[in-house]
């Protein structure tokens, strides 16, 4: 019996060489929020880590200016001089006190827009880019849909002053912000706490309105942000924070008080940094499906619960690599680079060998598991029979 038990143990040990380590997928308990709508995503890969009513249509208020700023950076010349019109300065709410006829560079207007939330700066940017605020609204909606890929956003102006048709969602705003912070120019302005402002009628120091960024609501990891408020929107807040290799974006919408919006943001950031981490798939790896090889062009990052790596990687016929949690929820997806037969035969062969080894390991694993299970079941039944015989002899 000891001999058979040794063999079964040996087979079980060999079997573990072919079975990937899998941990149970258990999501940590998320905080309860006061804001009506919220979302937290990984800023670098878009993985959604938390959401509450994230696709509900909401009024963004001045978070609109995130979209205006990145659109201006990508479609204008930052060194261009903009002549401010009478129509641009004829606005309400927060301004940088521009004067009609004042000449300001586009970059300075974007700084006034993001740091001091200047509505007049937003109007001047819109007229510079599109000729009018009305045409700008059409242009930026096309940009947001086709360049960034959001589908539930419709803007009527560049600043977010209330209009019943000026709406978006927390999820769309998160992806707009994620897109924007990949741009170094935007990221620098988004993270500016204060700057000197020398205007025709206003000489001052602009200070960010975001209390976490400037330290009034302490949170060490915040590196960028934008605030918003109109009566109809409640308090809206966009925040970028970093710890280690993890960059998080939090959007909260319709907070009933400013303090609750910041507290919701802090709670989500603590939850995110405490419970999630980023892993990556190595660039250069070649995979194959239906005799077509695809190459992972660069390191692909995805974010998951810490110490829980039970993921499934699936390659579609179109060369799209999809990563899923154990519960079937998709974490992220990536389009891979197709390798043509004339220049990638050796890499295709490597992919075939890799897949063959993977399949061989899977089949060996299954066979060995079956052998071990049969051995264990036989051993258990034999023990039961021996005990029954002993019991009858005793009787």
Domains of the chain, start order: 37-277 (3.40.710.10), 282-338 (no CATH)
CB 221 within 8 A of CB 202: no
Q: For residue 345, indicate whether it is catalytic.
A: no
Q: Say what the pTM is.
A: 0.76
Q: Which of 37, 47, 54, 65 is catalytic?
A: 65
With contact defined as beta carbons under 8 Å apart, do 240 and 248 qualify?
A: yes
CB 295 within 8 A of CB 316: no
**Which of 54, 62, 130, 178 is an active site residue?**
62
- Arithmetic mean of pLDDT over the chain: 83
Cβ atoms of residues 48 and 41 within 8 Å:
yes
Confidence of residue 374 (pLDDT cuts 50, 70, 90): low
From CA 143, how far away is CA 76, in angstroms rounded? 13
Distances (CA, A) of 269 to 31, 212, 222, 252: 10, 12, 9, 12
CA-CA-CA-CA torsion sign (85, 86, 91, 96): positive
SS3 assignment, position 316: coil
Pairing of strands 203-207, 222-230: unpaired
Q: Looking at residues 325-333, what average pLDDT do you find?
A: 63
Catalytic residue among 35, 37, 54, 117: 117
Q: Are 44 and 278 in contact (CB under 8 A)?
A: yes
Q: Which helix (H) or strand (E) holds 3?
A: helix 2-15
Nearest-angstrom CA–CA distance, 316 and 355: 15
**Confidence category of residue 289, pLDDT binned at 50, 70, 90:** low
- Assess whether 37 carries a catalytic annotation: no
CB 181 within 8 A of CB 68: no
- 326 vs 43, residue with greater confidence: 43
pLDDT at 151 over 80: yes
* DSSP letter (8 states) at residue 343: H
145 carries a ligand binding annotation: no
Separation CA 202–CA 222 (nearest Å): 29
CA–CA dist 39, 265 (Å, integer): 10
Give percent of the chain above pLDDT 90: 62
């Amino acid at each position: 019996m000891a001999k058979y038990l040794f063999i079964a143990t040996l087979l079980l040990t060999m079997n573990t060489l072919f079975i990937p380590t899998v941990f149970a997928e258990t999501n940590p308990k998320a905080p309860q929020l006061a804001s009506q709508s919220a979302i937290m995503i990984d800023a670098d890969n878009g993985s959604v880590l938390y959401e509450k009513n994230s696709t509900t249509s909401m009024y963004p208020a001045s978070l609109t200016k995130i979209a205006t700023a990145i659109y201006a950076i990508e479609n204008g010349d930052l060194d261009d001089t903009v002549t401010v019109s009478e129509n641009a300065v004829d606005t309400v709410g927060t301004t940088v006190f521009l004067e009609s006829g004042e000449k300001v560079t586009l970059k300075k207007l974007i700084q006034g827009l993001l740091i001091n939330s200047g509505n007049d700066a937003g109007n001047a940017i819109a007229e510079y880019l599109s000729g009018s605020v009305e045409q700008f609204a059409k242009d930026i909606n096309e940009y947001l849909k086709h360049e960034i890929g959001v589908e539930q956003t419709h803007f009527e102006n560049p600043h977010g002053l209330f209009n019943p048709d000026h709406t978006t969602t927390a999820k769309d705003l998160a992806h707009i912000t994620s897109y924007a912070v990949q741009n170094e120019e935007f990221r620098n302005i988004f993270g500016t706490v204060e700057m000197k402002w020398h205007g025709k009628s206003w000489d001052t120091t602009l200070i960010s309105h975001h209390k976490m960024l400037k330290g009034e609501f302490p949170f060490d990891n915040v590196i960028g942000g934008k605030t918003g408020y109109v009566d109809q929107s409640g308090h809206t807040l966009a925040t970028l924070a970093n710890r280690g290799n993890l960059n998080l974006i939090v959007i909260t919408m319709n907070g009933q008080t400013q303090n609750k919006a910041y507290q919701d943001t802090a709670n989500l950031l603590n939850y995110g940094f405490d419970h999630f981490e980023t892993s990556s798939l190595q660039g250069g790896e070649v995979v194959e499906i239906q005799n077509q090889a695809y190459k992972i062009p660069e390191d692909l990052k995805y974010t998951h619960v810490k110490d829980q790596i039970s993921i499934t990687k699936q390659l579609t016929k179109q060369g799209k690599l999809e990563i899923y949690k154990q519960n079937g929820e998709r974490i992220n997806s990536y389009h891979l680079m197709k390798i043509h037969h004339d220049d990638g035969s050796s890499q295709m062969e490597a992919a075939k060998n890799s897949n063959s080894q993977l399949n061989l390991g899977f089949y060996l694993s299954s066979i060995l598991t079956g052998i071990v299970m049969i051995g264990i079941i036989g051993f258990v039944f034999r023990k039961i029979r021996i005990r029954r015989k002993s019991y009858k002899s005793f009787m």
